[in-house]
Amino acid sequence: MHKKLVFWVEEYFYNPSFIQKIISFVLLPLSWIYCFFMYVKFKSKIAEDFGIDIISIGNLSVGGSGKTPLVTALASRYKNVAIILRGYGRKSSGLYVVSNGAKILCGVEVSGDEAMIYAQKVSEAIVIVSENRKKGILKAKEMGAKIVFLDDAYSKHDIKKLDILIDVESKNLSCLPSGPFRERLWSQKEAVVVKEGTHFKRVVELKNKSDKMSLLSAIARPQRLDKYLPEVVSKNYFEDHHSFAKDEVLDILRRDNSKSLLVTYKDFVKLEQFGLPLSLLDLQVEVDEYIFKIIDNYRGK
């Protein structure tokens, strides 16, 4: 039931049917109230300077936007870097140091999938999960970080930072609950908007390919993968951040008589513990120097 609801909501936000458009229209008054509340919240905040360069990468809407590979590419450029995120979907709470920049200190259930991606792909970075981003920043400073990347923190208006927002196309431009937008790009707030295909582009590498693969995906809006996919036996979609049980994964392999499961890195970090045959659709991004110049100019101020 939960899985069906998640997929229904994704369709409602990004590719609504006629009935869903009617529901969205009916909910518009609630969206106006919500958006006004978010504006008041924004205006009530005073940005605190932590004495360290802080860059936030995110998007204004719910659902996937490609921020994880973008943060990975950006953070890999710098030294003495920390990546801080909430750690959505993890089976823990509070602040955890996932990686100290030399060693991974916990498992994926504690870190969450996205934090483990950062710990593995940006191996020299400090990676911290914390619902309280301010505590995470202070911990990163204590550990010697000189630049911090915040994963999805535009709404943290009480933190002085450079906001970089990924432009996500949607047929529904309303705020929650009528549409997918969590917040507006407020005219009084400085932010840099970047677009896939213009300021960064995806590079896809297929690793450990087999001649019979079943796609397994627990990312937001998994249909985004379609244009990168090789031929697969079946497509098996789960809700974003789904925690897999070994038996449900084995059932797919047995049902399809596949030789491997085709996964993205987000699911790879959760599935590798099972010791099953995995093929990896490794999605990375190449970043235009435009973005690096913006970051470097911000750091030079």
- Non-local CB neighbours of 79 within 8 Å, separated by 6+ positions: 124, 146
Model confidence band, residue 301 (pLDDT cutoffs 50, 70, 90) = low
Task: Give the contacts of 96 (CB within 8 A, at least 6 positions apart).
Answer: 87, 105, 106, 110, 111, 128, 129, 130
Inside any domain, residue 182: yes
Residue 261 is encoded by which pair of tokens?
Answer: 């499961």
The answer to whether residues 100 and 149 belong to one domain is yes
Nearest one of 58, 7, 65, 59 to 283, comparing CA atoms? 65
**49 and 138, same structural domain?**
yes
pLDDT tens digits, 156-212: 999 999 999 999 887 788 999 999 999 999 988 989 999 999 999 999 999 999 999
Domain-embedded: residue 18: no
- Co-location of 141 and 278 in the same domain: no
Q: Are residues 77 and 114 in the same domain?
A: yes
Average pLDDT, integer, range 138-154: 97
Give the model confidence (pLDDT) of 62-92 as tens digits.
877 789 999 999 999 999 999 999 999 899 9
Give just the sign of the alpha carbon dihedral 124, 129, 133, 134: negative
The average confidence (pLDDT) of the chain is 94
Distances (CA, A) of 155 to 21, 43, 92: 27, 11, 23
One domain, residues 175 and 57: yes
Question: Is 23 part of a structural domain of the chain?
Answer: no
Q: In this structure, are 210 and 140 located in the same domain? A: no
Give the SS3 label for residue 294.
helix
Instruction: Of 2-11, 18-27, 68-77, 143-152, give the lowest mean pLDDT range.
Output: 2-11
Reported pTM: 0.94
Beta carbons of 236 and 280 less than 8 angstroms apart: no
Both 157 and 208 in a single domain? no
Report yes or no on 17 lying in a domain.
Answer: no
Does any domain span residue 114? yes
Beta bridge partners of 215: 235, 262
The DSSP-derived string for 69-117 is HHHHHHHTT-SSEEEEE--TT-S--S-EEEEESSSB-S-HHHH-HHHHH
Question: 242 and 136 share a domain?
Answer: no
Amino acid (1-letter code) at residue 203: V
Q: Please tell me the predicted confidence (pLDDT) of residue 15.
A: 86
SS in 3 state form for 153-185? CCCCCCECCEEEEECCCCCCCCECCCCCECCCC
| Cα torsion through 200, 206, 208, 211, rounded to 10 | 160
Q: Are residues 138 and 259 in the same domain?
A: no
Per-residue pLDDT band at 9 (split at 50, 70, 90)? confident
Domain identity same for 108 and 152: yes
Q: Are residues 106 and 195 in the same domain?
A: yes
CATH number reported for the structural domain that contains residue 196 in this entry: 3.40.50
- What is the pLDDT averaged over residues 258-271? 96
pLDDT at 1: 57
Over residues 24-59, the pLDDT tens digits come to: 999 999 999 999 999 999 999 999 999 999 999 999
**Tally of CB atoms within 10 A around 254:** 9
Is residue 179 within 8 A of residue 24, CB to CB? The reply is yes
Is there a contact between 95 and 129 (Cβ–Cβ < 8 Å)?
Answer: yes
What distances in angstroms separate CA 68 from CA 137, 152, 175, one per listed residue?
19, 9, 23
Counting the structural domains of the chain, the total is 2
Distance between CA atoms of residues 133 and 141, nearest Å: 12
Per-residue confidence (pLDDT) for residue 14, from 0 to 100: 87
Query: For residues 67 and 49, what is the distance between their CA atoms, to the nearest angstrom?
Result: 24
Residue 148 lies in a domain: yes
Residue 113 domain flag: yes
Residues 296 and 261 in one domain: no
Closest among 50, 16, 65, 198 to 135, alpha carbons compared: 50
Predicted local confidence at residue 66, as pLDDT: 84
Cα four-point dihedral sign 121, 123, 124, 128: positive
Q: Are 253 and 279 in contact (CB under 8 A)?
A: no
Q: Which domain holds residue 253?
A: 202-284
Kindly state whether residue 187 falls inside one of the protein's structural domains: yes
